[in-house]
Amino acid sequence: MEKNTRLILALDVLDSDEAIKISEDVAEYVDAIKIGYPIVLACGLDIISKLSKLAPIIADFKIADIPNTNRLICEQVFDAGADAVIVQGFTGHDSLEICVNLAQERNKDIFVVTEMSHPGALDFMQDVGEDIAKMAADNKAFGIVAPATRPERVTEIRKIIGDEVTIISPGVGAQGGSASDVIKAGADWVIVGRGIYQSENPRDAAKAIVDEIKTVI
C-alpha cells in the first residue's frame, strides 16, 4: 500500500450496494478498505473483487489455525482479489510463516495482530503482544496491528519492530482512539469504521480524519 492519506476504512456494513456507495464516496481519502467476516458472510466473497476496483482490500479474518488451514484460507482470499490478510500471531511461528511465504509468492501482504483495541484485550493479549510483534518482524510480515486506543503500546511495539515493519491501528473514533495521537505514537495508518460509515456524510468524515492526520505528519 502507498502511504498517501494514512487512513484505512473499516467497512462492516452488510449490504453490497451500501458498501460500494460508501467506498465510492470515500475512495479519494482512504489508502485501503478493511473488510471482515460480517460483510463477506452477508454479501459473499465476491464483494472483495467489487471493492478492490475502488481501493486495495485488507481481509480482516484474523486467521488463527494450523499452518495448512491458514494457507488454504489465505489462498481463497488472495484469489478473490484481496491485497492483504490479517492473521493472529498467538498460533505461533509456523502458522504465521506459511501465510507470509504465500503472500510473498503472490506479491501480497500479511498483517499480524499483536493486541486488539477493545478493553478485553488487556485480559490476555497485552502480555504476549511484544513477543508476537518480534515474531512478526523476524518472519518478515509486512505489518502488525496495534491498538489506537492505547498509543503508548504502539510506541513500545515500534521500538521492537523498528521502521521496516508497518503498523496499522484500529480503534479511532467510536472506540475513543485519536488519529493524530496514534500517528505521533508510531502508527503508519489509522483504521476507522463506524466514525465514517455511520456518519451522515462519510466523505466529509473521512476528509476530516485525513486533515487531522496531516497536522502531525
Position 143 in a domain: yes
Asked if residue 2 belongs to a domain, the reply is no
Query: Is 12 a member of any domain?
Result: yes
Q: Which residue has better confidence, 36 or 117? A: 36
Strands of the chain (E only): list them.
Answer: 7-10, 32-36, 57-63, 84-88, 109-113, 143-145, 166-170, 189-192
CA distance 182 to 204: 21
> Does residue 161 belong to any structural domain of this protein?
yes
Residue 121, pLDDT > 90, answer no
* Number of structural domains the chain divides into: 1
**Does residue 1 lie in a domain region?**
no
Cα gap 131→38, rounded to integer Å = 29
Q: For this structure, is 62 an active site residue?
A: yes
Average pLDDT, the chain: 96
**Which pLDDT band, with edges at 50, 70 and 90, does 61 fall under?**
very high
Residue 148 lies in a domain: yes
What would the pLDDT profile of 41-52 be if each residue is shown by its tens digit?
999 999 999 999
Of 3, 21, 34, 62, the catalytic one is 62
- The strand pairing partners of 189, in sequence order, are 168
Q: What is the pLDDT of residues 165-199, one digit of tens each?
A: 999 999 998 888 999 999 999 999 999 999 999 99
CATH number for the domain that contains residue 132: 3.20.20.70
Which structural domain range is residue 205 located in? 7-214
| Residue 7, SS3 per DSSP | strand
CA distances from residue 172 to 146, 149, 168 in whole angstroms, order as listed: 12, 7, 11
Say if 66 falls within a structural domain: yes
Could you tell me if residue 167 is inside a domain? Answer: yes
